[in-house]
Chain A
Amino acid sequence: MTALGLILRNLRLRRLSSVLTSVGVALGVMLVCAILLLRADLERHYLGPQEGYSLVVGAPGSALQLVLNTIYHVDQSPGLIPVSVWRELDAHPSTRLAVPYAVGDAFRGFRVVATTEAFFDPRFPHPAAKTTAGKFAAGGPFAVNPAELGAALDAVAAGRTAESENPGHAVVGHDVARTLGIRVGDRIEPTHGVGSEQAHEHEQLWEVVGVLRATGTPIDRVVLISLDSFYRIPDHAGGAVVPGSGEPGLSAVVLTPKAGMHKTVLLTTLNKRPDIQVASADREIRRLLGIVGRVDRLFLWVAVLVVLIAIMSVLVSVYATMRGRRREIATLRAIGAPRSLVFRVVAGEALLLVVAGALAGVVLGHGLVAVSSGAVEQAAGFSPDALGFLWEEAAVLLTVTLAGAAAGAIPALEAYRTDVARALNPGGTT
């Protein structure tokens, strides 16, 4: 019988305890893998899309909240800033591009962002493309008619709702188009508010003029509408104004500074003003990940500890069987099995339990991520990828395998050293 044959027989003989010790390893490895996967996705999700956003200008409040709301479309907007701020920033000598954002509407579960053609400017990096046309999978951009926008803003400032002959225009992200089966030329009617409870229908219709190409970023899940049409939504007559001044409001302006010192210039000058704040997207996200990172490192250590304990329990369980097996080992030796075989049988048993557990753990870890992806998306605004494989997981498998081999070596050495004569004559004098 080869070592593997003997191992499998021994394991079958002690089925329950074998399975239980393996399950311990599997649970530990599952936790480690799930944490690693979630962490990698979190970083990919938060570090990828923020590139190129640079500065976000919004109402005073939490800078992190402003960045999260504007770039990741999670959380609430901290408030409104006057439209005049956008006009001013657009004309600022340090500004390369100023993209206005008016948020707060949702269309069948997807967030609606009202903006201008600046969003489709090749200098705005999402979706990254050399030309405006390159940003689209189908159709093309919309452009805001300055006269219509001016009329709509005047109406809002006066507490009325402007009318227009023309329907509003919309561009949808890739996921929106795919999920809802929307094509260029379709008419959609956004509803107000992100939660479904307070949602109610506007009577206006928007014509879809374009579908953005897939980016793997939150932009895939956004419906863009023209800014003038936003101010013509009837309910916005009261809600789209900055409290106090009564001026029409925007949620944020995404600002791309000119190269060189201009970013610092904008940051320092704008942050002196009491009515607005400027957040550096990069800095806020790295700060967030720093906090999250500390927490998930703690979780990771706990999971690693679980794996270690499980491997110890494999060692203990194999070791515990050694007393009962000494006779069997001695018998094998008596009928001609070499020492190395009994070493391999015992070490291999521990190794097999650990490796089987570890492999099951990797599968379970991915399963756990798949099962919890809905909850994660609710909580963190991104849906983790359960099918991706990380090099860290290979490292985990390798480390656990080595630890299993080390754990198996201890009882195996005991088996190797078995005093055959004594083990065959239990009690000494027989």
Chain B
Amino acid sequence: MGEIIVDLQGIVKTYQTGEVSVPVLKGIDLRIDAGEHVAIMGKSGAGKSTLMNIVGCLDRPTAGDYVLAGHPVSRLEDDELSGIRGKTIGFVFQSFHLLGSMTVMENVALPMEYQNVPTAQRHARATELLERVGLGHRLGHRPNQLSGGERQRVAIARSLSNRPKLLLADEPTGNLDSAGTRKILALFAELQAESGFTMIVVTHDPAIGNAAPRLVRVADGLIVEDRR
């Protein structure tokens, strides 16, 4: 057993919509070791994205404790969280979220800028990553000139630019066809084997979920199954 990267204890998330409080996460305990590959499944509205947002420090839990790679983060201020996100976590979203005003290259280099990586190094790293995901010939293109699968590969390259310990992917293949899906999943597997990051993927696809070394099933704000 290696280092614990994600340690969630009694995580509760309640949304307040007007007078009504909506409990979405009702007490999540989850521990993930460094280097693990975890799939999260569950019905729509079960709270998977809410959980991912908390794990990714995009949101704070209403109650409970979260220790990320040894740092207690559940009480940190917003700007401390954004620092941790940039350094430790890579994100891949269903709808890519690339910046349309920038080239592919600039998109991938951008997260390194917030970690004060020098320009030359940023360019070298971005080029290397884009070549690695098979887009070495598209460096100067804009995201809207690429296909969905290509965009997601840019997003993956971007998510890895700061060598994160933790890669979070919320339905990364949700907008792709089956061929695109297969390519992206293969890429994830290769990259993880090379770099050894921890990976959490939310998916609706049972084939993907069942193929993962560990599967966590969420229903109605609680973990109902954790299979290794």
Contact = CB atoms under 8 A, between A and B. Distances in A.
A338 interface: yes
Interface in A264-299: none
Nearest to B85: A336
Interface string A1-26: 10000100110110000000000000
A339 B101 contact: no
Given A9-B101, A9-B102, A425-B49, A337 B114 contact: yes
B92 to A, nearest CB: 11
Nearest to A334: B91
Interface string A333-354: 1111111100000000000000
Nearest to A335: B111
A424 B101 contact: no
Interface in B73-88: 78-79, 82-83, 85-87
B158 interface: yes
Interface in B181-215: none
Contacts of B115: 336
A152 B61 CA distance: 108
Kindly state the interface size class of chain A when it binds its partner: 20 to 34
Given A421-B58, A425-B49, A337 B82 contact: yes
A10 B101 contact: yes
B87 A429 contact: no
Given A334-B58, A335-B91, A335-B114, A424 B79 contact: no
A336 B97 contact: no
A421 B168 CA distance: 13
Interface string B91-107: 10111011111100010
B110 interface: yes
Contact of B101 (A12, A337, A425): A12
A429 B111 contact: no
A336 B79 contact: no
A364 interface: no
Contacts of A9: 101-102
A424 B97 contact: yes
Interface string B25-46: 0000000000000000000110
A429 B49 contact: yes
B101 A13 contact: yes
Contact of B82 (A1, A339, A421, A430): A339
B65 interface: no
A421 B101 contact: no
B226 interface: no
A393 interface: no
Contact of A328 (B56, B59, B99, B174): B99
Contacts of B171: 430
B49 A334 contact: no
Q: Which of B50, B91, B101, B102 is the most central at the interface, judged by chain A CB atoms within 10 Å of its CB?
A: B101
Interface of B: 44-45, 49-50, 53, 56, 58-59, 78-79, 82-83, 85-87, 91, 93-95, 97-102, 106, 110-111, 113-115, 158, 162, 170-171, 174
Interface of A: 1, 6, 9-10, 12-13, 327-328, 330-340, 420-421, 424-426, 429-430
Given A1-B110, A424-B58, A425-B170, 9 more contacts: A327-B97, A328-B99, A332-B99, A333-B58, A334-B97, A335-B111, A336-B85, A426-B95, A430-B174
